[in-house]
């Protein structure tokens, strides 16, 4: 077979899809990096100790297939049972497992628009359809969001949303979910920076699955660990779809140590939230339209002005922010909340280009 024939052997949906492109990851240290919502602070010091201990215990054996130490600790923390938790290689792994579980060929995966771009790739991989329902201009859900079609098999709702940082209240979610005729994933990647979470909905509704990650609030994006919270019978089904050893011994030990250090999380959260409000004020003063954020980034728009040159100017000055242009919606800059001094330096450069 020549290369052409080999490539033609791929499933059509793989050949046709674009593939998810993540934010730029330049060589460490060269940029002030405010483009992928990483935490600017180091993780709890307990994490590297736990990794060293786990490495000393030996890596010749397979890890616990269900990340049991983590699930035991998590059950305590969130007042659920270990069987409510499913762990993954980052929460992206869980989103993949969940999509593969519910969305078949030709079926629909619903999501709001604009939101996390990966969801669309997950639908493409299934040879399904991404059904993007535009938010209202103020990032509230449109009334038809909960009115599903027969082919809609799953809904993804990031809450807080990316890129907007806005959040749908628990009361509103409760109303949505109680009417819903298909499973819904509430992607709580950023919820530790918000004022309210939705874990209670899992206790009440078997069709609600919550996903969380240690990448953002626990400052462990390089580790790859996330988890889903759902009814134990739902977890039991999802488990059939995951790789047997989707979390390694080091990440299980590290993630368990990380959630064990809630004092570290609380301090980190308050620093980020305080920088976020200063940043929001300053961007508004500079002339941007900035919607209140409940995440570790802010979404800046400027009606009537093109923002791509601003992104490029920042990049030339070694400041990376995320430029987004959503077809039919418009463009904006999504700027992650860094340390006070990173944000100060970045905004000084941004302001100088206005």
Ligand X SMILES: *Cc1c(COP(=O)(O)O)cnc(C)c1O
228 burial class (0-12, 13-18, 19+ CB within 10 angstroms)?
A: buried
Of 132 and 187, which has the nearer Cβ to ligand X? 187
35 touches ligand X (CB under 6 A): no
Give whichever of 125 and 349 is closer to ligand X, judged by the CB atom.
Answer: 125
> Among 148, 151, 102, 97, which Cα is nearest to 129's?
151
- Minimum CB separation from ligand X for residue 2, in Å? 37
Cα–Cα distances (Å) from 77 to 80, 104, 261, in that order, read 8, 35, 11
- Contact with ligand X (CB under 6 A): which of 35, 215, 251, 336? 215
Strand partners, 319: 32
DSSP H or E segment with residue 73: helix 68-78
152 to 191: interface string for ligand X, x by CB under 6 A = ------x---x------------------------x-x--
Positive or negative torsion for Cα 87, 23, 42, 275: negative
Q: x/- string (CB under 6 A) for ligand X, residues 79-118?
A: -----------xxx-----------------------x--
Indicate whether 213 belongs to the interface with ligand X (CB under 6 A).
yes
Q: Are strands 85-88 and 226-229 parallel, antiparallel or unpaired?
A: antiparallel
The site string for ligand X over 250-289 (x = CB under 6 A, - otherwise) reads ----------------------------------------
| Pick from 152, 150, 148, 147: nearest CA to 130 | 152
**Sole binder of ligand X in the list 72, 75, 133, 221 (CB under 6 A):** 221
Residues that bind ligand X (CB under 6 A): 90-92, 116, 158, 162, 187, 189, 213, 215, 221, 226
């Amino acid at each position: 077979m020549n290369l052409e024939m080999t490539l033609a052997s791929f499933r059509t949906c793989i050949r046709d899809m674009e593939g998810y492109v993540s934010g730029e990851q330049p060589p460490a240290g060269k940029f002030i990096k405010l483009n992928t919502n990483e935490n600017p602070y180091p993780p709890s010091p307990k994490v590297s100790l736990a990794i060293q201990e786990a490495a000393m215990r030996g890596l010749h054996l397979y890890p616990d297939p269900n990340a049991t130490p983590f699930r035991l600790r998590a059950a305590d923390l969130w007042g659920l049972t270990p069987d409510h938790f499913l762990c993954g290689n980052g929460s992206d792994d869980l989103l993949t497992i969940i999509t593969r579980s519910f969305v078949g060929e030709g079926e629909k995966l619903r999501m709001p628009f604009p939101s996390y771009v990966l969801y669309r790739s997950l639908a493409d991989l299934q040879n399904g359809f991404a059904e993007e329902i535009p938010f209202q201009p103020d990032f509230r859900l449109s009334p038809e969001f909960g009115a599903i079609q027969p082919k809609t098999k799953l809904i993804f709702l990031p809450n807080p949303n990316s890129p907007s940082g806005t959040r749908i209240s628990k009361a509103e979610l409760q109303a949505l979910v109680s009417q819903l005729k298909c499973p819904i994933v509430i992607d709580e990647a950023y919820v530790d920076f918000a004022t309210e979470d939705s874990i209670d909905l899992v206790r009440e509704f078997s069709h609600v699955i919550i996903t969380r990650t240690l990448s953002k609030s626990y400052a462990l994006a390089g580790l790859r660990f996330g988890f889903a919270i759902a009814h134990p019978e739902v977890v039991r089904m999802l488990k059939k779809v995951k790789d047997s050893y989707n979390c390694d011994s080091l990440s299980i030990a590290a993630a368990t140590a990380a959630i064990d250090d809630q004092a570290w999380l609380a301090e980190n959260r308050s620093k980020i939230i305080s920088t976020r409000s200063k940043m929001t004020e300053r961007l508004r003063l500079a002339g941007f339209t900035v919607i209140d954020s409940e995440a570790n980034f802010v979404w800046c728009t400027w009606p009537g002005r093109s923002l791509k040159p601003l992104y490029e100017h920042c990049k030339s000055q070694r400041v990376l922010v995320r430029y987004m242009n959503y077809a039919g919606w418009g463009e904006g800059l999504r700027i992650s909340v860094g340390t006070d001094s990173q944000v100060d330096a970045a905004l000084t450069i941004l302001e100088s280009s206005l």
